[in-house]
Amino acid sequence: MTGPLLCVGGCRGFAAGDGIILRRSWPYVAEPGESGVMPFKSVLRALGALAGFAHGWRLQGPHLPHGIRRRPHPEPPSPETWADEYGTVERPDGGRLAWTATGTGGPVFLMVHGVTLGGHLWRRQVADLSRDCLVVTVDQRGHGVSDPWDGPHGISHLGADIAAVIESLGLEDVVVVGHSLGGIATAQFLVDHPELRDERVAGAVFLSSTATARLASALAGPVAALVRPVETVGLAVIPRMVPAVVEAAVAPARRGALVTRLAYGAGVREDDLRYTHAQVSGVRGDTLRRVFGSLGSFHLLDRLADVPTPALVMCGDRDLITPRFLSRRLHAALADSTYVEVRGGGHMLMHETPEYVVDNLRCFAESVLPDVWRTRPAIAAAG
């Protein structure tokens, strides 16, 4: 559950020590007598986070310029305008996954975005890391410029998509970086594809993510016993019901505005707001229904202890979409993990603190691949 100390001082995103909240020890480790799960007082914080999710436009989030609320920004630029190479990977169960590759030398970063977003989400990390690394982005099924997907969107399928991209492109010395749903898919990949993982993957990074949809797994004692029955019913109904209700009752532009305000903590650029709003507003309703419908059964906390891959877990202390206790629980479940918590950070750390995210990615990659600075590998798949 412990890993190397990363970027405590001298990171460009913050003054030394300002961007990290040190709790108990570094990395976060349960103290003697602690169960490693969320105590009762933290339940109140979690309920507060849920209330914040329901009324997030009042509690946090940037002001959205008037034009953004009513008129979504145009789609992100096509891959040929910002990537060195791009193409698709055929999947047997539905369509083609779009990928881009940028940069030369060094380790390979495979960037996997969250729900409603796309590979262009990582544009600042791509621009920085590609100076001495190969950066590959992938648009998850039904997202970005990947094909609209009529097939399944189960989490196991998303994990298999990561495996397919690694195999099809012939990637080695890979650090998989997953944001939100991308982190969920990354965790599933690590569990479901052990041979490919051990042969090709050097590390995994989880940004604002989780390894469970079950709140009771992060609770202790009688509180967990009370929550579990309600949670069982809720997870069977809510993930399938809410996207349909939202799609029917909330106009896409307003949906985009709400989620955008919930997603950001402190510090955001207007072009990032426009990007996120456009992506959330434009995602297909059937994609949302399939993705959220698959989350009710997602739970990998008990299986991650058998995954030897070094990991970095990063989250913001103001994240209302995946509150920080979920990241802490993920960190505690991993066999070899380092935990970074960003003061004032929301759900979109790659936009809110882009340089700081890059610094931590570099430090982590150097710690797991200290000798990998070589000629860029050839991309095996054709466009």
Phi-psi region of 129 (alpha: psi -120 to 50; beta: other; left: phi over 0): alpha
Encode pLDDT of 252-301 as tens digits: 555 556 666 778 876 678 788 778 877 877 777 777 777 777 776 778 89
166: CB partners within 8 A, 6+ apart: 110, 174, 196, 200, 201
Both tokens of 11, joined, read 């990171």
Can you give the pLDDT at residue 218?
55
**pLDDT over 80 (residue 100):** yes
CB 291 within 8 A of CB 317: no
Closest CA to 126 of 161, 101, 99: 101
Average pLDDT over residues 318-339: 91
Residue 175 pLDDT grade (very low, low, confident, very high; cuts 50, 70, 90) = very high
**pLDDT over 80 (residue 363):** yes
Q: Where are the beta strands (DSSP E) in the chain?
A: 85-90, 96-103, 108-112, 134-138, 174-179, 201-207, 311-316, 337-342
158 versus 227: the higher-pLDDT residue is: 158
Please give the order of strands across the beta sheet that includes 311-316.
85-90, 96-103, 134-138, 108-112, 174-179, 201-207, 311-316, 337-342
**pLDDT over 50 (residue 369):** yes
Q: How many residues does the chain have?
A: 383
Distance CA 343, CA 349 (A): 11
51 versus 330: the higher-pLDDT residue is: 330
**pLDDT over 50 (residue 172):** yes
Q: Torsions phi, psi of 68, nearest 5?
A: -65, -40
379 versus 127: the higher-pLDDT residue is: 127
Selection from 147-161, 227-241, 290-304 with the highest mean pLDDT: 147-161
Least confident of 56-65, 205-214, 217-226, 270-279: 56-65
Can you give the pLDDT at residue 35?
39
Average pLDDT over residues 211-236: 60
CB 287 within 8 A of CB 246: no
Q: Is 41 exposed, middle or buried (0-12, 13-18, 19+ CB in 10 A)?
A: exposed
Alpha-carbon distances, residue 351 vs 201, 217, 276, 302 (angstroms): 25, 30, 10, 31
Can you give the pLDDT at residue 37?
42
Structural domains of the chain, ranges and CATH numbers in brackets: 40-368 (3.40.50.1820)
352 versus 1: the higher-pLDDT residue is: 352
Can you give the pLDDT at residue 12?
32
Q: How many degrees, rounded to 5, is the angle at CA 265 between CA 260 and CA 266? A: 125
Average pLDDT over residues 323-334: 91
Average pLDDT over residues 58-74: 48
156 versus 282: the higher-pLDDT residue is: 156
Rounded to whole angstroms, the maximal C-alpha distance in the chain is 56
Can you give the pLDDT at residue 205?
98
Distance CA 105, CA 131 (A): 8
What is the rounded average pLDDT for all residues in the chain? 75
Can you give the pLDDT at residue 74?
56
Residue 131 pLDDT grade (very low, low, confident, very high; cuts 50, 70, 90) = very high
